[in-house]
Amino acid sequence: MGHVRDRPWWKPHRRTGVILSVAIGSIALLAVLVFGGRDNSGDAAGQGLAGAFEALFFTVGTFLIASVALIMWLSRYIGMPKMLLSICGLVVLTVLVLLW
Protein backbone atom coordinates (compact mmCIF):
# COMPACT_ATOMS: atom_id res chain seq x y z
CA MET A 1 0.00 0.00 0.00
CA GLY A 2 1.23 3.50 -0.80
CA HIS A 3 3.33 2.42 -3.77
CA VAL A 4 3.25 4.11 -7.14
CA ARG A 5 1.62 1.07 -8.73
CA ASP A 6 -1.43 1.14 -6.40
CA ARG A 7 -2.99 4.01 -8.35
CA PRO A 8 -4.47 3.63 -11.85
CA TRP A 9 -2.31 5.10 -14.63
CA TRP A 10 -4.91 7.70 -15.60
CA LYS A 11 -5.32 9.13 -12.10
CA PRO A 12 -2.65 11.77 -11.34
CA HIS A 13 -0.98 11.99 -7.96
CA ARG A 14 -1.60 14.98 -5.71
CA ARG A 15 2.06 15.94 -6.02
CA THR A 16 1.70 16.17 -9.81
CA GLY A 17 -1.22 18.57 -9.45
CA VAL A 18 0.66 20.71 -6.93
CA ILE A 19 3.76 20.89 -9.14
CA LEU A 20 1.66 21.79 -12.18
CA SER A 21 -0.31 24.48 -10.32
CA VAL A 22 2.81 26.06 -8.82
CA ALA A 23 4.56 26.07 -12.21
CA ILE A 24 1.58 27.65 -14.00
CA GLY A 25 1.10 30.18 -11.21
CA SER A 26 4.81 31.08 -11.23
CA ILE A 27 4.80 31.58 -15.00
CA ALA A 28 1.68 33.78 -14.74
CA LEU A 29 3.29 35.83 -11.95
CA LEU A 30 6.47 36.16 -14.01
CA ALA A 31 4.44 37.38 -16.99
CA VAL A 32 2.71 40.00 -14.85
CA LEU A 33 6.01 41.18 -13.38
CA VAL A 34 7.86 41.27 -16.69
CA PHE A 35 5.15 42.67 -18.96
CA GLY A 36 3.36 44.75 -16.29
CA GLY A 37 4.19 48.43 -16.29
CA ARG A 38 5.44 50.03 -19.48
CA ASP A 39 6.97 53.42 -20.04
CA ASN A 40 5.31 55.27 -22.91
CA SER A 41 8.08 57.79 -23.49
CA GLY A 42 7.82 57.63 -27.28
CA ASP A 43 11.42 56.54 -27.86
CA ALA A 44 11.07 53.85 -30.53
CA ALA A 45 14.56 52.42 -30.12
CA GLY A 46 14.25 52.28 -26.34
CA GLN A 47 10.83 50.64 -26.58
CA GLY A 48 12.18 48.05 -29.02
CA LEU A 49 15.12 47.22 -26.78
CA ALA A 50 12.87 47.08 -23.71
CA GLY A 51 10.52 44.71 -25.54
CA ALA A 52 13.44 42.48 -26.51
CA PHE A 53 14.71 42.33 -22.91
CA GLU A 54 11.20 41.58 -21.64
CA ALA A 55 10.85 38.71 -24.10
CA LEU A 56 14.31 37.40 -23.18
CA PHE A 57 13.68 37.51 -19.42
CA PHE A 58 10.27 35.90 -19.81
CA THR A 59 11.63 33.11 -22.03
CA VAL A 60 14.57 32.35 -19.74
CA GLY A 61 12.39 32.52 -16.63
CA THR A 62 9.75 30.26 -18.13
CA PHE A 63 12.41 27.76 -19.18
CA LEU A 64 13.88 27.72 -15.66
CA ILE A 65 10.48 27.31 -14.01
CA ALA A 66 9.53 24.50 -16.42
CA SER A 67 12.90 22.78 -15.87
CA VAL A 68 12.55 22.85 -12.08
CA ALA A 69 8.97 21.56 -12.33
CA LEU A 70 10.08 18.78 -14.68
CA ILE A 71 12.92 17.80 -12.34
CA MET A 72 10.56 17.73 -9.35
CA TRP A 73 8.04 15.60 -11.25
CA LEU A 74 10.58 13.19 -12.74
CA SER A 75 12.39 12.69 -9.42
CA ARG A 76 9.51 10.48 -8.29
CA TYR A 77 9.67 8.13 -11.26
CA ILE A 78 13.27 7.85 -12.47
CA GLY A 79 16.73 8.09 -10.95
CA MET A 80 18.99 11.11 -10.93
CA PRO A 81 21.35 10.04 -13.79
CA LYS A 82 18.47 9.37 -16.20
CA MET A 83 16.75 12.56 -15.13
CA LEU A 84 19.85 14.70 -15.73
CA LEU A 85 20.42 13.04 -19.09
CA SER A 86 16.80 13.73 -20.04
CA ILE A 87 17.06 17.38 -19.00
CA CYS A 88 20.31 17.81 -20.94
CA GLY A 89 18.69 16.24 -23.99
CA LEU A 90 15.73 18.60 -23.63
CA VAL A 91 18.07 21.60 -23.42
CA VAL A 92 19.97 20.50 -26.52
CA LEU A 93 16.72 19.89 -28.40
CA THR A 94 15.42 23.33 -27.38
CA VAL A 95 18.63 25.02 -28.54
CA LEU A 96 18.49 23.18 -31.87
CA VAL A 97 14.87 24.17 -32.42
CA LEU A 98 15.60 27.81 -31.54
CA LEU A 99 18.61 27.94 -33.84
CA TRP A 100 16.75 26.39 -36.75
Could you report the per-residue pLDDT of 37-66, keeping only the tens digit for each?
766 777 777 888 888 888 889 988 998 898
In angstroms, what CA-CA distances link 84 with 23, 49, 56?
19, 35, 25
**74 contacts: CB under 8 Å, gap ≥ 6:** 83, 86
Q: How confident is the model at residue 3 (pLDDT cuts 50, 70, 90)?
A: low
Average model confidence (pLDDT) across the chain: 82
**For range 89-97, the mean pLDDT:** 86
Buried b (16+ CB within 10 A) or exposed e, 55-67: eeebeebbeebee
